[in-house]
Structure 1
Amino acid sequence: MLEDLLLRRNLIDAGCDNQQIDKFLKLNASGKVPAQLNLLKEQRRHLLECLHFRQRQIDCLDFLIGNLQKSN
């Protein structure tokens, strides 16, 4: 029980939604480690895509800031 609570907390902290968490815990109870790994890797890919998207937005802002500073 404590293990499930700790897993749930960690999955929440990793940005997983309730559906992902429930699926992960069911897989954990069944001992389906490869499926658990796939779920975690998919979440990691999602987070990395979000990070890259945000980085492109920051790059655009940096470009605009640089142009404004040069012209001022």
Structure 2
Amino acid sequence: MGAYQTKEALEQNLRDAGCEERCVREFMQDLEQDRMQAGLRLLNQHRRSLLDAMHREQKRIDCLDYLLYQIRKNNI
């Protein structure tokens, strides 16, 4: 398990990172079958998905900030 003391701790970390149960299962299978490259690919895909979601939300925040700025500027 490396830095993780238990299988359960590793699984919980994956869940805390937003991995769905399918992702947790696949990663754990890859780990148990010594297919670390496949497991890393899976985690990198999940990371990209999280970053894409974060960027979408940031764009929404930026739009809202601009609207607030315009409203304050024009005293609406």
Give the TM interval when normalised to the shorter protein: over 0.9
In structure 2, the residue matched to 1:55 is 58
* Residue-pair matches, total: 72
In terms of fraction of residues, the more helix-rich structure is 1
Residue 3 of structure 1: how far off its partner (Å): 2.3
TM-score by length of 2: 0.90
% same residue: 37
Q: Report the aligned-residue RMSD.
A: 1.3
Q: Which runs of 4+ in 1 moved over 3 A?
A: none
Structure 1 portions without partners, runs of 5+:
none
Q: Distance in 2 between matches of 1:26 and 1:7?
A: 13
1:41 and 2:44 are equivalent in the alignment: yes
The higher relative CO (CA closer than 8 Å, separation ≥ 6) is in 1
